[in-house]
Amino acid sequence: MRGRAAVLVLIVAGLLAVTMAGCSRDGESMEWQAQARAANATAAAVAVPAPAALPDFSVLVATYGPAVVTVVVGEAVRASDPASGRGFIVFSEGSGFIVSPDGVILTSAHLVDRADAVIVTLSDRREFKTTVLGQDKESDVAVIKVDALDLPTVRLGDSSSVRPGEWVVAIGSPFGFENTVTSGIVSARDRFLPSQPYVPFIQTDVPVNPGNSGSPLFNMNGEVVGINVAIYSATPGFMGLSFAVPIDLAVKVKDQLLRGGRVRRGNLGVVTEDLPQPLADSVGLPKRQGALVIAVEEDGPAAEAGLKPGDVILSIDGVLISRAGELQRRVADVEPGSRTRLHIWRHGRGRDITAILSELERRGPWKERP
C-alpha cells in the first residue's frame, strides 16, 4: 500500500506541474518542475525489499534422511472359503525413524497393529526383520526394533515450541517411494480428531500420502517435532490437511512402552462437550471457557467426587481448561490413582472438588482411519 500511495502521489504531482506550467510565470513553472524532480528522486531512493529467500532443506535431508526407514508389514489373511485351505498375505508400507543407535524405531501403531511380519529397509538398502516392542492405539505410536548397532539417528526436538506458520519437513515413503521429502508450514496446534481424543495434533499442510504414516516431521533446526500419522480428506489422497503426533507425547508413550509394555492413562468418568455461548451467558460465566459435563459414569471417579451433568469444569490442578478436548488430554496425562483438583462452575459460582482418577480402558482393534 505504501508503494502504491507513493506512485499515486507522484502522478498527481506531475499533473499539477504540467497544469501550473501552462498558466503561471516561468519562475513558478521552474519551481514546480524542481519539486517534481525532488519527489521523483525521493521515490527512487526508497528501497524496495527483496523477496525473502525460500528455505533450503538439503542439509537437513542429507544429515537426517539416513535415519528414516521404510516399514513393510505383512499380514496373513485366511481364505474366505475354509475348504480351500489356503490363505494369502497382504502387504502394506509405511515409514519410521531411528531414535537410538541400537535400532529402536518410532512408527505408527495402526501400521503394525495386525502385523505377522515387519521388515525395515534403511536408506542404504539394508533390510532387517523387526520386533514390535509395543504399541499404543490411543496415540497411534508404536515402538519397533531391529537387531543392529551404530545406526544413524534423528534428533528429537520440543514440540511445545512449534509455532503456526513455521516451515516443517516430512521424510517418508509415500506409495513406496522411499526417502521422499515434502515440506509445508504448521497450520495449527492442539487439533483434536474424533478418533484420537487424547492427542493434541500438530496440523500442517505438508503433503502426506499413504506410506507416510510413521514418518518424522522436522523443524528447520533438523529436530523431529512430530510423527505424521493421519490426513483429513474426502479422497484417499492428500488434500492439504495432515496431522502429526507431537514428539513430546510420543516420547512419553515410548518410555512407558519400553518400561512396562503399555501406557496407563487417567480416567475421570465423564462425557463433556464445548460450552455453548448461550449457556455460558445463562449460567453467568464471564467468558466461554471450560468443559460442559453432559454425562457422568455411574460409580466412576467423577460421580464419587460429586460432579453432576450441567457442571462446567474450568481447571484441573490449576491449569485452565478452554475446551472439552483439552480436559480429556490433561486427565489422560495424570497417573491413575492420583488425586486431582478440579475447579468447577455450578449455580452461578465456582467451587473446588477433588477426584481420584481410575485407569482408562484400552481400545480394541483399529477402525478405519480419518
Show which residues are catalytic.
110, 140, 213
Burial category of 278 from C-beta neighbours within 10 Å (exposed 0-12, middle 13-18, buried 19 and up): exposed
Instruction: Give the helix/strand (H/E) hosting 277.
Output: helix 277-282
Round to whole Å and give the CA distance between 124 and 108.
Answer: 22
Size (the chain), residues? 370
- Radius of gyration, CA atoms only, the chain: 29
Q: How many Cβ atoms sit within 10 Å of the Cβ of residue 226?
A: 29
Round to whole Å and give the CA distance between 29 and 32.
Answer: 5
Round to whole Å and give the CA distance between 206 and 186.
Answer: 8
- Phi, psi dihedral angles at 88 (to 5 degrees): -150, 170
Pull the grid cell for residue 134.
Answer: 509395543
Round to whole Å and give the CA distance between 199 and 357.
Answer: 19
Reduce the DSSP state of residue 162 to 3 states and report it. Answer: coil
- Which residue reads 515434502 in cell numbers? 182
Task: Report yes or no: 165 and 186 within 8 Å, Cβ to Cβ.
Answer: yes
